[in-house]
Amino acid sequence: MARIVTASTMAAMDRATMDEFGLPGRILMETAGREAARIIRQHYPLRDTPILILCGNGNNGGDGWVTARYLLGWGAQVSVLLAGSPEKLTQNSLINRSLYEKAGGCVLTADNDSRLAGHRGALQRAALFVDALFGIGLDRDVKGHFATLTDTVRESGKSLISLDIPSGIHADTGHVLGTAFRSDHTITFGFAKPGHFLEPGRSHRGILHTVDIGIPEVIYGKIPSDLACTDPEWAKEILTMRSPESHKGNFGHILLVAGAPDTRGAAVLAATGALRSGAGLLSLMVPEASLPLPGIPPEVMLHTVGGNNRTGFDDTALQSVADLLEGKTLVAAGPGMGTSSSAARILQRLLDCPLPLVLDADALNLLALHPELMEKCCRRPHTTVLTPHPGEMARLCQTSSTAIQQDRIAAAVCLATDSGCHILLKGASTVAATPEGFCRIVTSGNPGMATGGSGDVLCGILAGLMAQGLPADEAVPLAAYVHGLAGDHLAKNKGPIGYLPSEVAHTIPRIIQTTCIPPNRENPGHE
Ligand SMILES: NC(=O)C1=CN([C@@H]2O[C@H](COP(=O)(O)OP(=O)(O)OC[C@H]3O[C@@H](n4cnc5c(N)ncnc54)[C@H](OP(=O)(O)O)[C@@H]3O)[C@@H](O)[C@H]2O)[C@@H](O)CC1
Ligand SMILES: Nc1ncnc2c1ncn2[C@@H]1O[C@H](COP(=O)(O)OP(=O)(O)O)[C@@H](O)[C@H]1O
Ligand SMILES: [K+]
């Protein structure tokens, strides 16, 4: 299920389903609460599990009342703790509270700290909490008795299921507003929200279940979402098996410009990433002072150009660029390239070439240092991809990395639409934005990948996928997804920290085989 919607889009879909399509909000809420109760029943033995459902004022609380009524009907020991103010309940919450009470349900009211303290026994007796405090309507920090309740439940270590999103997590950014629940399961309604996939929200939501509450496809079509996430079904649609008659010329010829003497390993890692992802041919342009290049795959065609230990590339290197561009189908530049004035002149020349361009690391630093290069980059009539980490992104956008991290999706989309470039904003919760403003959140990857050289491998993977003809809007998120899956595979099989970016590169063929190739096309060359 790759569709994702923001809180405002989800609210607009809910409204349109009610007002235009004619399906009442009460039915949507009934479906949400009933399906949540079903999922709870699947995971916990109802008769042996005292359940306390925590309801807020809003419609998220409304879902909680419905869930409570179904669980009660199925024989569960269930109570509701109303943490919101009884007089402020939404209309549908009020109706569903009354139905729950008619069915014999018990309600404890705790709308301030002292009342909450009076219900300590009920909190202690519960074995499972259901969090229906706030959903997509959370719009400010969680404070006061709501914060006390959240912290008490979290610190109890007992099982917790959140309805729609863990309360305290902002649905659009994944940020914690004040304090937040950490759930074992989150049951979301309609479509998943960005906060389910963006850290720290992703780490707070446990197993995610997406429930169809009856938002009709016509409404989704009318209010389209410009967000999605990566998943295996999506990946399988993109990579197709090679024709038996294919040859190396079908899979592109990359010119990789990388590897000043101090950072020559970056060139090796990017080259390995590109070849392990299936690039047809790869030529590497490095300064002669960077030789030897230990670990460089013998498949790489090596072109040494003018350079020295101080600046990396020198001005004589510029003369080689035109020759080296001859016959290439894609250029990737930046890993360990250096930021000398000679490197800037090389980048200027590359920006003029009529080929797809992937710019990473020092190429991004050069764009930030030379506004005229950034302007040139924005005016390119050919595909350009920029792959910044938050620090590089901050320099490109002349802001701080804290500001970028405030809303990663907004930052990536804003730069992509302003610059006309594809943007891959890396880090925990990598996002890929297109110049048209579509954004895909990458769902793979782990903190074990936070090692120097990891981004160089990713740059190579991206160049390798694009060289094979994948359009940038698919190749950019797929490269990050495959890179993250390779990291996840190593974290699981080797250990969560200490595996190397070079090992990530060498794991790519296995990931492509297991995740991206549909099973019926898995074994080329075998009967
Ligand atoms: N038909 C539909 O629409 C459907 C909706 N559905 C469900 O509804 C949910 C959205 O409901 P919603 O819009 O009522 O918002 P919700 O998440 O309950 O929160 C708003 C309440 O919280 C309060 N509040 C906010 N922040 C606060 C804070 N920090 N500290 C304290 N209070 C705070 C805010 O108070 P106020 O700002 O008014 O003072 C208001 O009372 C959605 O996530 C899904 O679960 C499903 O049933 C499917 C059909
Ligand atoms: N906490 C994390 N969770 C998931 N992926 C991460 C995390 N930290 C780093 N990564 C990934 O590792 C790579 C690091 O890239 P980058 O910062 O450019 O590294 P370098 O410049 O050292 O090669 C990116 O793909 C990034 O998304
Ligand atoms: K919730």
Q: Cα separation of 373 and 354, whole Å?
A: 16
Q: Whose CA is nearest to atom 18 of ligand 2?
A: 455
CA distance 270 to 504: 11
| Interatomic CA distance for residues 8 and 254, integer angstroms | 42
Which ligand sits nearest to residue 160's alpha carbon? 3
Q: How many residues does the chain have?
A: 527
Looking at residue 520, its pLDDT comes to 53
CA 301–ligand 3 middle distance (angstroms): 55
Pairing of strands 128-132, 159-163: parallel
Per-residue pLDDT, 149: 98
pLDDT more than 70, % of the chain = 98
Rg of the chain over Cα atoms, rounded to whole angstroms, equals 27
CB-CB contact of 270 with 300 (8 Å): no
Euclidean distance between CA atoms 310 and 289, whole angstroms:
9
What residues of the chain score a pLDDT lower than 50? 521-527
Residue 269 half-sphere exposure toward CB, CA atoms < 13 A: 25
The reported pLDDT for the residue numbered 525 is: 41
Task: Please list, in sequence order, all residues whose beta carbon lies within 8 angstroms of the beta carbon of residue 502, skipping any fewer than 6 positions away.
Answer: 268, 269, 272, 295, 453, 457
In the chain, the domains with their CATH numbers are 7-225 (3.40.50.10260), 233-518 (3.40.1190.20)
**Structural tokens at position 63:** 């879902």
Sequence-ordered alpha helix ranges (H) in 119-263: 120-125, 144-156, 201-204, 217-222, 232-238
CA angle, 348 as apex, 345 and 352 as ends, to 5°?
145
Contact (CB, 8 A) for 166 and 94: no
Question: Is 174 annotated for ligand binding?
Answer: no
What value of ipTM does the predicted structure carry? 0.95
Q: Find all residues with CB under 8 Å of 224, minimum gap 6, and list them.
A: none
Query: How far out from the chain centre does Cα 50 lie?
Result: 36
In the prediction, which pLDDT does 381 show? 97
Does 139 appear as a known binding residue?
A: yes
**What digits encode the pLDDT tens for the residues 228-266?**
999 999 999 898 788 899 999 999 999 999 999 999 999
265 marked among binding-site residues: no
| Beta strand spans in 164-246 (E) | 185-189, 207-211, 227-229
Specify the pLDDT at position 524. Answer: 44
pLDDT at 518: 62
User: What pLDDT was estimated at residue 519?
Assistant: 56
Hey, what amino acid is at 129? F
How close is the Cα of 54 to the center of ligand 3, in Å?
Answer: 9
Q: Any known ligand binding at 389? A: yes
Residues with CB under 6 A from ligand 1: 14, 25, 28-29, 32, 56-63, 90, 134-142, 146, 163-164, 189, 213
DSSP assigned state of 90? -
Buried b (16+ CB within 10 A) or exposed e, 177-213: bebbbbbbbbbbbbbbbbbbbbbbbbebbbebbbbeb
Structure confidence at residue 241 (pLDDT) = 81
Please give the Cα distance from 124 to 153 (Å, whole number): 9
In the prediction, which pLDDT does 527 show?
A: 40
Protein residues near ligand 3, an ion, with CB under 5 A: 131, 162-163, 167
